[in-house]
Amino acid sequence: MAEQLWTSQEIADATGGKAVGKPFMASGISIDTRSLERGDLFVALGGVRDGHEFVEQALAIGAVGALASSQVFGSAVMVDDVLPALERLGLAARERAASARRGAVTGSVGKTSVTQAIMAGLRRAGRAHSSVKSYNNHIGVPLTLARMPRDTERAVFEIGMNHADEIRPLTTMVRPHAVVVTTVGPVHVENFPEGEIGVAKAKAEIFEGLVSGGIAVLNADDHWFGVLEAEAQKVGAQVRTFGRAESCDARLIDFQGRDGQAVLKARFQGKGLEFPILQTGFHWGLNAMAVLLMLEALDVDLDDSLAALGGFQPLEGRGAEKTVGLRGGDFTLIDESYNANPVSMASAIATLGARATVGRKLVALTDMLELGPQGASYHAALAQFLVEARVDLVFAAGPLMKSLWEALPSTRRGGYAELAADLAPMVAQAVEPGDVVMVKGSNGSKAGLIAQALALLDVRSGEAG
């Protein structure tokens, strides 16, 4: 039997709404009929399409009731405005699980992967809850809170932003006991007249929601560490640091990646550690240090933390590897297609460069978005990283990637197209057995289409060849 999350009367009490129709008990919450599960409360949010248009469909496929602001036929809790009602439901969930230790994650790179790695550790320690996918905005955060079961012991929330003043209300909702800023880079920088320092200050808003005496986990290697530390100290946070310096609470000493995994050497709170992870990207050395500090702050035993990191698989589109069979042999596909910015792009290229391969190293890159007027120069600057990494062929798609294409030595040019869909067949035609191919770009520039096309070359899948 499904676990009870909310009764219709509890929802009405929490939101200030009125329960109508037959009383119900919800075991989950959905904002999308495409992912709705039987027993869910359907939240009829506004948007490109008004969620009220889908209430009838939601009830027909198994929703037990709706949270709505205009008349619906069936069981519902009626409110004046649905989004503020969802926020109030999230706050009520937080208050009824008052003893739960809560963490929050932000940063320009690695938010979702770090959040889910923390969740892997929380799960080992007891009743745990977290964001799903990248539910990190003004809808995703209250939705994640509202989905939190009453007996939760530990929880972690991803919090993102595109502009200043977006993180502040979300962290105030969560009221975390510990937060981490993974790193700060030129992401969404077009929305910040001050440039990267504006991004850093916006990320620092996460400290404002910390409970009294809460912990701020910061990247001491980050260029903007001083800004972040000062902002954390303003609210009285306890600062914990990760990085390569001897003074760090979690110090990365060595990272050796090979054959789909890596071995890390570190010092954690003065104790020497050596442990494996199922990641190869260099950035995972520091990510792992951040995860260890966050899990410690959320009262997870170190042995459980290390075990969780050791079993945490790369997320789809964020470094997951696939062996693809061609006639005559296999090649390795590294799927980094979910997102990209100058920081993550440089890290991914360096990781590929350090990798031992029997064949060539190929990359297929699509535009990095929201970089403002310096977007073209950020793309052109990648040429140096690609040359230093000894990447054999570069395939590029998009108007911004044209700047990289023009900056590349002719011997490294594999192919260029305006659109990712047009580049995909060029990469597919060029790849050979033994090659390692990395696909990376911003989600909005459709890098995933290239990764999908390459995966479909697998002669063993029955879908190609």
CATH number for the segment(s) 6-80: 3.40.1390.10
Which pair of tokens denotes residue 11? 């929802």
CA distances from 273 to 180, 236, 341, 439 (A): 21, 30, 31, 33
Name the pLDDT band for 464 (thresholds 50, 70, 90): very low
Q: Report whether pLDDT(78) > 50.
A: yes
Can you give the residue ranges of every domain in the chain? 6-80, 97-311, 320-455
Q: What would the pLDDT profile of 262-315 be if each residue is shown by its tens digit? A: 999 999 999 999 999 998 888 999 999 999 999 999 999 999 999 999 999 888
Q: Are strands 238-243 and 436-440 parallel, antiparallel or unpaired?
A: unpaired
User: What pLDDT does 461 receive?
Assistant: 60
Average pLDDT (362-390) is 94
Taking domain 97-311, whether its CATH number is 3.30.230.10 is answered by: no
CA atoms within 13 A on the CB side of 187: 25
Q: Which of 2-6, 252-256, 367-371 has the highest mean pLDDT?
A: 252-256
Q: At what angle do helices 82-96 and 8-15 cross, to 10 degrees?
A: 110
pLDDT at res. 131: 86
Same fold, 97-311 and 320-455: no
Fold of 320-455: Protein-Tyrosine Phosphatase; Chain A (3.90.190)
SS (H, E, C) 358-397: CCCEEEEEECCCCCHHHHHHHHHCHHHHHHHCCCCEEEEE
Q: How many percent of the chain have pLDDT more than 90? A: 82
Question: What local confidence, expressed as pLDDT, does residue 190 receive?
Answer: 76
- Looking from the CA of 46 toward its CB, the CA atoms found within 13 Å total 8
What is the enclosing helix (H) or strand (E) of 264? strand 261-268
Measured between alpha carbons, how far is 274 from 268 in angstroms, rounded to an integer? 10
Is the Cβ–Cβ distance between 117 and 158 less than 8 Å? no
What gap in Å lies between CA 391 and CA 164, rounded to an integer?
Answer: 37
Contacts of 306 (CB under 8 A, 6+ apart): 273, 275, 292
Collapsing DSSP to helix, strand or coil, 267 comes out as: strand
- Residues 365, 384: Cα–Cα separation, whole Å: 15
What is the token pair recorded at 236?
């009285």
Two structure tokens written together for 90: 């999230």
